[in-house]
Structure 1
Amino acid sequence: MSDVDAEAAKASRTRQAEDPESDVGGIAADRLRSIIERVERLEEERKALAGDIKDIFAEAKSAGFDVKVIRQIISIRKKEPAEVEEQETLLDLYRRALGM
């Protein structure tokens, strides 16, 4: 082992002895843990939001609204007006081509 390698190994052991969780195998353990915990927290929030959305659709259905149509309207509202117009034009063209 060269002197440089020996010094690097000694420095690594010294850092690990001072703070064993800060750097494990070249990975910043605290940073990794923080990232994983943030993702887990956001996944829990997403799960809660999905439940809330499901409840709103159930409310809409019980009020007599067609949930499938509501979902389509939400999808349309996300699109740019030009894109919606193009799709409606194509839909009309295809309907006429099929005699509908």
Structure 2
Amino acid sequence: MTTGDITETSQTVAAGQLRTIIERIERLREEAKAIGDDLKDVYAEAKGNGFDTKAIKTIVKLRTMDQAERLEAESILDLYKAALGMV
């Protein structure tokens, strides 16, 4: 095998790896779009049933936080509301 053959083989392998990575990214983007569409449908269903979607989004966000993080966020929000005379 010559140096040229090794270089060509390396380029072929690299091109194959790059193609695989790009195809995986494209597939994941398609899946993410499908999930986004599903989320829109669920929020539309919630709204159709009379629920406030903004409140639901807030609850979902709060549920992703651990208790200490959530309490800190709520304390900061309360502090800011008090500073602005909103409580």
Identify the TM-score tier after normalising by the shorter chain.
0.7 to 0.9
Percent of aligned pairs with the same amino acid: 47
Larger mean Cα displacement after TM superposition, 26-35 or 73-82: 26-35
* Count, aligned residues: 86
Which of 11, 15, 28 is residue 3 of structure 2 equivalent to? 11
Measure how far apart 1:35 and its partner are.
Answer: 0.6
Structure having the higher helix fraction is 2
Say which one has the larger Rg: 1
- TM-score calculated relative to the size of structure 1: 0.72
1:61 counterpart = 2:47: yes
Change in 2 beyond 3 A, CA 1:93/1:12: same
Deviations 1:44-69 (A, max 9, x none): 10011100000000000000000000
Deviations 1:3-58 (A, max 9, x none): xxxx9xx4224764xxxxx543x871111111111111111100111000000000
Q: Which runs of 5+ in 1 are unaligned?
A: 1-6, 17-21
Q: Which runs of 5+ in 2 are unaligned?
A: none
1:29 counterpart = 2:21: no
Q: Whole-Å Cα distance in 2 between the matches of residues 34 and 91 of structure 1?
A: 46
- Secondary structure at the counterpart of residue 28 of structure 1: helix
Change in 2 beyond 3 A, CA 1:14/1:86: closer
Q: Whole-Å Cα distance in 1 between the matches of residues 82 and 19 of structure 2?
A: 58
RMSD over equivalenced CA pairs, Å? 2.4
- TM-score calculated relative to the size of structure 2: 0.81
Which gives a bigger RCO, structure 1 or 2 (Cα 8 Å, sep 6+)? 2
